[in-house]
Structure 1
Amino acid sequence: MAAQGVSHAAEAAAHGAFDLLPIVVLLAAAVVAVPAFRRAGLGSVLGYLAAGLAIGPYGLGFFHDAQSIIHVAELGVVLFLFVIGLEMQPSRLWAMRGEIFGLGLLQVTLAIAALITVGLALGYPTAASFVAGTGFVLTSTAIVMQVLQERGAMGLPKGRRIVAILLLEDMAIVPLLALVAFLAPGGADASAADRLLGVAIGLGAVAVLVLAGRYLLDPMFRLLARFGAREVMTAAALLVVLGAAMLMQAGGLSMAMGAFLAGVLLSESSFRHQLEADVEPFRGLLLGLFFLGVGMALDLAIIAANWVVVAISVPAFMILKMAVIYAVARLLKAPQAEALERMVMMAQGGEFAFVLYASATQVGILTAAWHATLTAIIICSMVLTPLMMILHDRLAPKPAPSLDGVEAAKGLSGRVLLIGFGRVGQIVSQPLLARGYSLSIIETDPQAIRDAGAFGFKVWYGDGSRLDILHAAGAAEASLIIAAADDAEAVTRIVALARHAFPAVPVLARAADREHALALVAAGAAYQIRETFESAMALGREALLRLGDAPEAAEEVMRSIRHRDAERFALETAGGIDAGRSLIHGNAGRAEAD
């Protein structure tokens, strides 16, 4: 069937018709696989890879030239680095110079030295071993950036250090390609003038881009903005990204590096947010297409024919690389948790390895068979990375929060025990304090405790769902307990525990939603309030007034809604859930009739 679909596509193309089948297949594969994998907790990257494998030559056979798709989809990586560049002001990038040329250079150098040994141990020539190991050192920018973004770690210090290493690796592709040409048979005889000319062209391309970014780009966008054509602004954004990438490529540099530099040069522009919004949809689609292409390129025939080499090389490369990354991280004083996460996240080879291996094959360092095997090894490592991240997240010990400057609850005697000092607890405390009631406040978030201390609040550390903590916080002597923690399950446990241990002390509780409110009543709460109920009622009343209703009419409507809600809640609390639902549907029908 798949072969027939491809032949029909070719026939349609031959008759001049535009063939939508490949686009539909790609979109359908992404739409089906990615949500399923994310729901299963496997991440979007693995979903794209699996979808690519399913529709590729070794799956349903809709596509036979995965490399052509990868070449087009590499623009996703280019656009991704442009967006990253927009977040990196020149001053911030300058502040990262130590991490880029210190941490990044140290990791790349040591990793190259370690990974060369894999090829040598398998009996390959020195030059081929060097190229093979060096290609694996170049981490997948697409995978790592995607993981960082999904985890919200891009702006954190640990994310910034990973970005610094990736930037150094992107810059390293240029001297590595030059070194490949030098190591080629007869490459050492190449004239020094040719190599110097190549370096000069590269530096000239960078200089042209910097000058254009400094003096031309912002005035150009300002001029285009005056005409107010949104589609022209989008076209201009893509023109800047692709033009910068093409300029860097013409200068012998990385396209991704050109896009990154363009982003940095526009990072202080007043159009930065507009540019990011214009580029983002293309970036997401093309990056997804890149991962689909990588999945298609997984050549199962080559893996089967060279399964011994692949089975040895993939774990050998990944283990050695992880060991170097961990050692460098710890050597430079990174916390153990960060070092472990970094080594798992950056354990794979990357898309720049394809460029390096193709160049080495062209100049005779690698044979076609070696090239295919190394490409399969890189793709296998890319496929394994999301799985390793999942294992890391499940097995790695969770970091204990720092309790510096935080006191544990002990011997408290406030008239009111307030459990939880988040956005609800802070507001609840204000009328009580205004009337002079003494409060004992406990919270489980050390940072929230420190922040409250900066505003003059004394908050103690303690988990209110533990009986010993409730005793230490003075629950037995309190006149009132208020459970206002952010965690709905914790609030339910607090209510049940306090009701059992301190039956004479009423417990007021914050409910997350209606079902939680019912659970709190069942657990013994003296009073519960859904956290959004009163604000939503106030918003609804204001909406009626703004639409022209008289205040008296608006109040009557709100009283009626409160009354119906109370009736339904009473029925559900008493166990008449079906009756409550019938009443809800009856009211809905009446509202529609009105």
Structure 2
Amino acid sequence: MAGEVVGHAAEAAAHGVDLIPVVALLGAAVIGVPLFKRIGLGSVLGYLAAGLLLGPSGIGLINDPESVLTTAELGVVMFLFIIGLEMEPSRLWALRKQIFGLGVLQVAVCGLLLTGMGVLLGFAPAVAFIFGMGFVLTSTAIVMQILGERGELSSESGQRIVSILLLEDLAIVPLLAVVAFLAPSSGDEVGLTARLIGIALPIGAVSLLIFLGQRIMNPFFAVLASSKLREVMTAAALLVVLGAALLFQAVGLSMAMGAFLAGVLLSTSTFRHQLEADVEPFRGILLGLFFLAVGMSLNLTTVAGSWQIIALSVVTYMAVKAAAIYAIARALKASHAEALERAVLMGQGGEFAFVLYTTAASAGIIDGPTNAVFTATVIVSMVLTPFLLIGMRRLMPKPEQSMDGIETVAELHERILVIGFGRFGQIATQTLLGQGHRLSIIDNDTDMIRAAAQFGFKVYYGDGTRLDILRAAGAANVDLVLICVNDKAAATTIAHLFRDEFPLVKVMARAFDRVHAIELIKAGVDYQLREMFESALMFGAQAIRELGATEDEVEQTIEGVRDRDAQRFKLQLMDDLSAVDAARSLLLKNAAEQAREGGVDIEEEAVEEEVAKSTQPVPPA
């Protein structure tokens, strides 16, 4: 039956567009990626697994992954264009030492070590050089995707990794030149003129792109913007990205580097944000397609046939490269945690290795089976990287916060205690400070504490969910505590601690939503407020005010909303408490029944009296 369906679909595709691969790719991405991310394995691994399922080694729905990979490489191109938009020339210049210092050092050391490993594995020196240098070129797509999902692209450690990746992407140009030099001679001598042209063309392409970026592109987009046609601006953005990539490809340079340079030149343009918004959807889809294509390219038959050399190569190359990256990072004063994460994150080969290996095969330096083994080694290393990152994060202890300039709680004595000094706490304390009240404030975010100190606020370090910290903060002697933490579970825990240990203290708490507010009331707080409730009411009040409502109408409407919400809240609270009471009654009656079965004489009236005591209504907070 399934074969007939596929047959009919294939017959229909002969008269039009074959949508089966397209639908399959979209379906695999839509189902697989969220599933993998939900279970903590990350989106990259989801794409790779989906691609493996659809490719020749899976159900074989797509038998030509190379054609998909060629198109999907545009995702990497667009990704680097967006990275370029965020790298203003001044910022790029500030990173020059990391790009041409740290980047060159890492490429040179890793290349030397991996070439030596290739010789030890039995490859000829030229072949070992190609194998090793291809593996040196880290996967820009995987690393950038992971850093982007974590929001670490703009961090100091993230910027160092980006700098190394940029240098590695640049390194593909001289490496391709080396491949041409190592290629067996065909008997045709290359003349001086051809050599000069080969040098002049890349220089001319870079110069032309710089000229267009500085002189032409801004006026060009200004003219297009005046047309007020969104689709024209989108087409122009794609034209810039793909045109720069094509220009660099035509002169033998990296397409991705062409797009990156175009992004850098447009990073100071007034149309920067428009360009980023136009390119981003295509970047996301094509980069996902790239990962799918990499998964499809993993030929399990090749892996099974040469599993010993592939397994040995993957283990040794990843271990040697990671060790070298770690050693270089530590030698340049990086912390152990940063060096280890950089080593694991950049320990795999990358997409530019495919270009290098294919070029080497075309030049006759390596044969087809060797190319397949090298490619499989790189792909397996890319697949393993997310797993290694997950393992490292689980095994490594959580990074300790810097306590420089931070004072811990030490017997505070003010009458008002504030727990949590984020956005909510900072605003809530303004009225107290305005009335001249003195506050003890604790928080466990050291960055926030240092930032608050710059504005004259004295905030002490302390975790409000710990009873010993609350005692040290003077919780037993305060008149009022404000729970302002941005964590539902922590707020409820703190409320329970005050109810059980400091029952005479009045407790006010920030609630996340209605359900959380009920939890807090059951935990004994005297007052709770849902964090968005009043601000949303004021927002709605201004909306009807803008539409012509009088102040009396606004006030009456807002009070009506408050009253109805209070009634619904009370009913929901009573229903919740009734459910608890019913459960208590059932437990008491079951216990009495079991006692009677055990020979204990318990009167029914005594059980009913105990049930009545246990279900006394709780006074509303």
Q: Report if TM-score (shorter chain) is over 0.5.
A: yes
- For 2:386, the aligned partner's letter is P
Distance 2:574 2:228 in 1: 61
- 1:201 maps to amino acid: L
The match for 1:368 is 368
Query: What residue number does 1:35 align with?
Result: 34
d(CA) in 1 for partners of 2:266, 2:437: 55
Paired residue type of 1:30: A
The residue aligned with 2:334 is 334
Q: Deviations over 1:320-339 (max 9, x none)?
A: 11111111111111122111
Paired position in structure 1 for 2:112: 113
Mapped to 1, the partners of 2:53 and 2:514 lie a distance apart of 43
Q: What is the TM-score normalised by the length of structure 1?
A: 0.93
Could you say which residue in structure 2 is the equivalent of 1:130? 129
The alpha carbon displacement at 1:558 in A equals: 3.1
Q: What amino acid maps onto 1:140 in structure 2?
A: S
Query: Is 1:240 aligned to 2:240, yes or no?
Result: yes
2:415 matched to 1:415?
yes
- Cα drift, residue 521 of structure 1: 1.3
Task: Using the TM superposition, give the Cα deviation of residue 87 of structure 1 relative to its aligned residue in structure 2, in angstroms.
Answer: 0.7
Match of 2:356 in 1: 356
Superposed displacement of residue 298, structure 1: 0.7
Q: Which amino acid aligns with 2:331?
A: L
1:497 positional shift: 1.1
What are the superposed Cα offsets for residues 347-400 of structure 1, whole Å, 9 maximum, x if unpaired? 111111011001111122111110011111111111111111222222222111
2:440 alignment counterpart: 440
Amino acid at match of 2:45: L
Q: Select between 100-109 and 475-484 the one with higher mean Cα deviation.
A: 475-484
**Separation (CA, whole Å) in 1 of partners of 2:542 and 2:270:** 37
Please state if 1:56 is matched with 2:55.
yes
Question: Structure 1 residues 92 and 4, CA, compared in 2 at 3 Å: closer, same or farther?
Answer: farther
Contact 1:3–1:62 (8 Å) recurs in 2: no
1:150 aligns with 2:138: no
Q: Deviations over 1:124-153 (max 9, x none)?
A: 111111101110001111111111111111
Residue aligned with 1:216, SS: helix
Q: Counterpart of 2:120 in structure 1: which amino acid? A: A
* Letter paired with 1:238: L
Aligned to 1:404: 404
Map 1:490-501; keep pairs closer than 5 Å: 490-501=490-501
Counterpart residue identity of residue 57, structure 1 = P
Cα deviation digits, residues 248-302 of structure 1 (max 9, x gap): 1111110001111111111111111111111111111111111111111110110
* 2:483–2:508 CA contact under 8 A, matched in 1: yes
Distance in 1 between residues matched to 2:10 and 2:417, nearest whole Å: 74
Partner-residue secondary structure (3-state), 1:109: helix
Q: CA deviation at 1:40?
A: 1.3
SS state of the match for residue 226, structure 2? helix
- The alignment partner of 1:399 has SS state of coil
**Corresponding residue for residue 311 of structure 1:** 311
| Counterpart position of 2:90 | 91
Q: Is the 8 A contact 1:418 1:481 kept in 2?
A: yes
Contact 1:90-1:264 at 8 Å conserved across structures: yes
What per-residue deviation string (whole Å, max 9, x for no partner) do you get for residues 232-262 of structure 1?
1111111111111111111111000111111
- Name the counterpart of 1:583: none
| Post-superposition offset of 1:317 | 1.0
Distance 1:326 1:5 in 2: 54
Contact 2:13 2:19 in 1 (8 A): no
Letter in 1 for 2:448: A
Aligned mates of 1:108, 1:189 — CA distance in 2: 33
Contact 1:5 1:62 (C-alpha < 8 Å) held by counterparts? no
Is 1:430 matched up with 2:430?
yes
Q: Is the 8 A contact 1:412 1:472 kept in 2?
A: yes
Write the letter of the residue equivalent to 2:253: L
Structure 1 pair 563/131, CA: closer, same or farther in 2 (3 Å)?
same
After superposition, where does 1:255-266 map in structure 2 within 5 Å? 255-266=255-266
Residue identity matched to 1:37: F
- Structure 2: which 5+ runs fail to align? 581-621
Match of 2:102 in 1: 103
* Cα drift, residue 108 of structure 1: 0.4
Q: 8 Å contact 1:241–1:259 — kept in the other structure? A: yes
Q: Cα 1:563–1:87, aligned 2, differ >3 Å: closer, same or farther?
A: same
Q: CA deviation at 1:10?
A: 5.3
Contact 1:2 1:61 in 2 (8 A): no
Unaligned runs of 5+ in 1: 581-594
Aligned residue number for residue 22 of structure 1: 21
SS in 1 for 2:481: strand
Structure 1 SS opposite 2:471: helix
- Superposed, 1:504-523 pairs within 5 Å as 504-523=504-523
Is the counterpart of residue 70 in structure 1 residue 69 in structure 2? yes
